Structure 1
Amino acid sequence: MNQHLVQKYNIAGPRYTSYPTVPFWDKEGIRYDVWLQSVKKSFEESNATEGISIYIHLPFCEKLCTFCGCHKRITKQHKVEEPYVDTVLKEWALYCQLFDERPRIKELHLGGGTPTFFSPESLDKLISGILKTADKCDDYEFSFEAHPNNTTEQHLKTLYDLGFRRNSFGVQDYDPKVQKTINRIQPFEKVKAATVKSREIGYTSISHDLVFGLPHQTKESIINTINRTKELKPDRIAFYSYAHVPWIKGVGQRGYDENDLPSPDEKRELYETGKALLAELGYVEIGMDHFALPTDSLYQAMENKSLHRNFMGYTAGKTQLMVGLGMSSISDSWYSFAQNDKTVEEYQDIVNEGRIPIFRGHHLTEEDLIIRKHILEIMCHFETSWEDDALKFPELDECLERLQEMKEDGLVEITSTGLKVPEQARPFVRNICMAFDLRLIRNKPTTRIFSMTI
């Protein structure tokens, strides 16, 4: 890749799991009644045709991984499991009161934190409780994130019996020095055991999360990590850029100095090296940061244009309504966003008082909805169109003007009715989306709030 272009466009910018991005939600938030009405409207419009998605945040971890940017609670006290599961089921019951028919679940994902911190019995109680008041769509997909060190055969069997067919193991890097620095000691044998056992039980899609740009990471460690990954050949690989944001994530990411991180040029070489190795192994790049084998549903979704992106990342299908349950979860009704309280105690107290525990949110304007469609198209399909007058907006010409320099640099192709991102320019997709981000443009942050784009 042209290093000059990397240096030129490697600026701080959003990852666009939503538009507007969270820092640019309305400061006054969203009224509670408006959120409830938004959920009811979305459910009525979409449940019968496409179903809904559910994201459940399970925040507990026994140890702090210092690279992590997730909302989590570090504890070894497993007595926290039962009251937390009870609270999530109460929150789900509050949402079910809004629905005039049984919800049909198309996607359900367990994230964290560490979902496999919870015992198989606790997870059984949680999912069985959800399913008592809901039905599965014919093409449903249940998935969960897991830590290879604590994922037991019983975890895998219990979740499989509940309908889960996809899991994702956090690997990051196999280099011992990198693992020690990020406090994630995880031998290859542990990952292999969890992966092999998943296949034996019947899981049809196994994903490994890898990260580039970690402290002390080198080209050699990336090559070694992907060569070890080759032995297990997961169906999907998420190859994430490490986001160094200690001003947001605090003590964990302050455990090492920025001098321990690869330089921007070195970091880009790590990505290009990894991407080339993954291509040799038969993986196809999906959207941003993701790779899949042609046999996986994520690849097939890209091929048939059904790939979607939301707060869970890339998914193989779209639902208009995504209900987020648990501490810090974000829900999306398409018309509005709402985020739950970020501490376990406040979350549990509010739910136990009989209220859905949102503490901030955003109701999308007509302009937001149009911009959101363009950014989703660019992030998922590397193209967008305004041939339909409904997808035009007053500032469109200004957005295209902001892309002229990128067009001259060969990073975007623009016609009178749309744009495309050439394959070699895909690493710059966040920069292209930023040209459409009217809320970012109108309210440029005075402090750094995003990770670097490339």
Structure 2
Amino acid sequence: MDTNKLIKKYNIPAPRYTSYPTVPFWQQEQIASNDWFEAVKKTFDISNDTEGVSLYLHMPFCEKLCTYCGCNKRITVNHRVEEPYIEALMKEWDTYLKVFGSKPNIKEVHIGGGTPTFFSPENYMKLFGYIQSTSNYMEGFDFSFEGHPNNTTYEHLKAFKELGFTRVSYGVQDFDLKVQQTINRIQPYENVKRATEDARSLGFTSVNFDLVYGLPFQSIEVIENTIRKVSELMPDRIAFYSYAHVPWVSPGQRAYTEADLPSDDYKRALYERGKSMLLELGYEEIGMDHFALDGDKLLQAHKDRTIHRNFMGYTTNNTELLVGLGCSSISDAKIAYAQNIKKVEDYQKAIEADSHALTKGHLLNDSDLLLKQAILDLICKEELVLTNEIKSTLTDDDWNKLKDFQAEEVLAIHDDKVSMTEMGMTFIRNVCMVFDQRLKDSQRERGNLFSKSI
């Protein structure tokens, strides 16, 4: 099968499926707080004693704008913003504690941004000292944070280790100076090396590098040089992401033009070259975009088919309640989703006034829950059992698309089961779209909602 021909056919705007329904198709522009907290309480009561709770904290501040970035962030060099934001997070956490009615058993924590290491170690000690005093940490808890290699200090790492964190993810993106200058993220190899070695010397058991392909001025040679430098440090995990060019969402991306970006064909060649080098180094591919070394928990969960996916990406923890704290954070209570206000000042004002900052949300109906699990099975287990319930959601056109995928060796259909092929995982987002009823029902233009699928 001609993979390049398939890439041209299927490289269309598509969701990344960190949730179903995906955020653009949520039904409530303003979710009622009583509906949300009722869903949280119901899910907490069912799952707290068995699975525990996942916690995501969004730390939005950055000292410089990385122009490629599509995350929710606030650019400032004023570190006086730290304390009011920490206070708001603790007050929001208090609201959830009241809803829970008993101590939560925390299984997983992830801190994202922004630049989480914008905040001082002292403020993290304050924040997590409070969270720990109001919670129980479950056996085998998994705590991780995202760090910028330029400003993740030894003191940051030491504080996080004392707080129970064992995993750190560094945003490396690319080591080429021209690429770094174009995306306004200059970080010398020496800084990444120092941050990696510091983490390992303190006992962090997992170091992840985020790499991005498809950035302006990247070439095969640039990717090769980046992977060679990565090979000198051998992080335990690597996320090798496709650059999402969405200047209508992230105006900073207008600092360069589409003429500076690799063509679709060449962008895929960048990925294939990077992937082949990673496989040669001993990494194994996990789902979409992820690679890990033998012995890594995420790789083992993938092999055991217990891997899970949520708003934090792939994870080894399948908790049904994910609480998001901070501006723009998204929470998942299995039967409902909710997102916080995006703007920092508006978030803090809302917390001060109402003790919550909820904005859009979605209450999942039975069909949503069915298809949520179906898409999770495809994207995590790489297969899906076609139950009668799932079959009932498929139209003749949907079946024709699945048969086309089978003819193109993207997947196999046998014994009422869809199984992705190794090559077909390139097109997993396209396959998920066949089962995405909310997307099919919508008349909205996808081009200004999602990045391209490949």
Partner of 1:77: 78
Q: Distance in 1 between matches of 2:49 and 2:147?
A: 31
Amino acid across the alignment from 1:75: T
Q: Distance in 2 between matches of 1:394 and 1:106?
A: 35
Distance in 2, Cα, partners of 1:292 & 1:441: 34
Render the CA deviation track for 1:364-393: whole Å, top value 9, x for unaligned: 111011111111111111111134x56554
Residues in 2 aligned to 1:433 and 1:202: alpha-carbon distance in whole angstroms: 39
Q: Which residue of 1 aligns with 2:250?
A: 249
- Show the counterpart of 1:410: 409
Equivalent positions of 1:135-214 (< 5 A) are 135-214=136-215
Trace 1:126-137 onto structure 2 (pairs within 5 A): 126-137=127-138
Q: Residues of 2 paired with 1:421 and 1:227: CA distance?
A: 31
Write the distance in 2 (CA, Å) between the matches of 1:396 and 1:4. Answer: 26
Q: Is the 8 A contact 1:60 1:75 kept in 2?
A: yes
Q: Give the Cα separation in 2 of the matches to 1:394 and 1:378.
A: 16
How far 1:132 moved relative to its partner? 1.0
Q: Distance in 2 between matches of 1:418 and 1:234?
A: 36
| Residue matched to 2:349 | 349
Displacement of 1:396: 6.3
Tell me, in whole angstroms, the C-alpha distance in 2 between the residues paired with 1:256 and 1:288: 27
C-alpha spacing 1:392/1:321, structure 2 compared with 1 (3 Å): farther
| Alpha-carbon distance in structure 1 between the residues aligned to 2:140 and 2:86 | 26
| Cα deviation, residue 229, structure 1 | 0.2
1:245 aligned counterpart, secondary structure: coil
For normalisation by structure 2, the TM-score amounts to: 0.98
Tell me the secondary structure at the aligned position of residue 269 of structure 1: helix
Q: 2:214·2:243 contact (CA, 8 Å) conserved in 1?
A: yes
Residue 120 in structure 1 maps to residue 121 in structure 2:
yes
Deviation, 1:27, is 4.4
CA 1:28 to 1:146, structure 2 compared with 1: closer, same or farther past 3 Å?
closer
1:6-17 equivalences under 5 Å are 6-17=7-18
Q: Deviations over 1:40-72 (max 9, x none)?
A: 000001000010000000000000000000000
Distance 2:433 2:348 in 1: 37
Which letter does structure 1 place at the counterpart of 2:244?
Answer: A
Cα deviation for residue 398 of structure 1 reads 5.0
Paired amino acid for 1:411 = V
Alpha-carbon deviations, 1:17-60, whole Å to 9, x = none? 11101111114543221101000000001000010000000000
Q: Which residue pairs with 1:32 in the alignment? A: 33
> In the TM superposition, what is the alpha-carbon distance from 1:405 to its structure 2 partner?
1.5
Structure 2 runs not aligned, ≥5 long: none
Aligned pairs (5 A) from 1:367-446: 367-387=367-387, 389=388, 392-395=391-394, 399-446=398-445
- The answer (yes or no) to whether the contact 1:94–1:354 under 8 Å persists in 2 is no
The answer on whether the counterparts of 2:29 and 2:359 sit within 8 Å (CA) in structure 1 is: no
Tell me the SS of whatever aligns to 2:404: helix
* Per-residue deviation, residues 206-250 of structure 1 (Å, max 9, x unmatched): 000000000000000000000100000000000000000001112
AA aligned to 1:254 is R
The whole-number CA distance in structure 1 between the counterparts of 2:121 and 2:100 is 29
2:439 and 2:415 map into 1 onto residues whose CA distance is: 25
Residues 91 and 355 in structure 2, CA contact (< 8 A), matched pair in contact too: no
* Residue 416 of structure 1: how far off its partner (Å): 4.1
Q: Indicate the SS of the match to 2:100.
A: coil
**One-letter code of the match for 1:215?**
P
* Residue type at the aligned position of 1:281: L
Which whole-Å CA distance do the structure 1 matches of 2:21 and 2:93 have between them? Answer: 26
Aligned length, in residue pairs? 452
SS state at 2:323 partner: strand
Q: Residues 238 and 290 of structure 1 are in contact (CA less than 8 Å); yes or no, is this contact kept in structure 2?
A: yes
* Offset from partner CA, 1:326-349 (integer Å, 9 cap, x none): 000000001010000001111111
Deviates more, 1:189-198 or 1:26-35: 26-35
Instruction: Tell me which residue corresponds to 2:333.
Output: 333
How far the C-alpha of 1:317 sits from its partner, in A, is: 1.5
Q: Is the 8 A contact 1:301 1:317 kept in 2?
A: no
Map of 1:291 onto structure 2: 291
Q: CA deviation at 1:402?
A: 2.5
Structure 1: tracts of 5 or more residues without a match: none
- 1:107 — aligned with what? 108
**Cα shift readout 1:63-100 (whole Å, capped 9, x = no counterpart):** 00000000000000000000000000000000000112
- What is the alpha-carbon root mean square deviation over aligned residues? 1.2
CA distance in 2 between counterparts of 1:344 and 1:61 reads 12
SS at match of 1:226: helix
Provide the C-alpha distance between the structure 1 equivalents of 2:354 and 2:185, rounded to a whole number of angstroms: 38
Query: Is the Cα contact below 8 Å between 1:20 and 1:439 reproduced in 2?
Result: yes
Distance 2:341 2:240 in 1: 29
In the alignment, the residues of structure 1 paired with residue 159 and residue 435 of structure 2 have an alpha-carbon distance, to the nearest angstrom, of: 45
Cα 1:200–1:169 shift into 2, 3 Å: same
Partner of 2:4: 3
CA distance in 2 between counterparts of 1:433 and 1:293 reads: 27
Separation in structure 1 between the aligned mates of residue 205 and residue 233 of structure 2, nearest angstrom: 14
2:160 and 2:391 mapped to 1: Cα distance?
45
Deviations 1:310-331 (A, max 9, x none): 1101111210000000000000
Residue 441 (structure 1) shift: 0.9
| Residue identity matched to 1:360 | K
Measure how far apart 1:285 and its partner are.
0.6
Residues 411-431 of structure 1, C-alpha deviation per residue, up to 9 Å, x if partnerless? 111124210110011110000
In the alignment, the residues of structure 2 paired with residue 186 and residue 402 of structure 1 have an alpha-carbon distance, to the nearest angstrom, of 45
| C-alpha distance in structure 2 between counterparts of 1:56 and 1:322, whole Å | 11
TM-score (norm 1): 0.98
Whole-Å separation in 1 of the counterparts to 2:4 and 2:393: 35
Residues 248/360 of structure 1: CA separation in 2 closer, same or farther (3 Å cut)? same
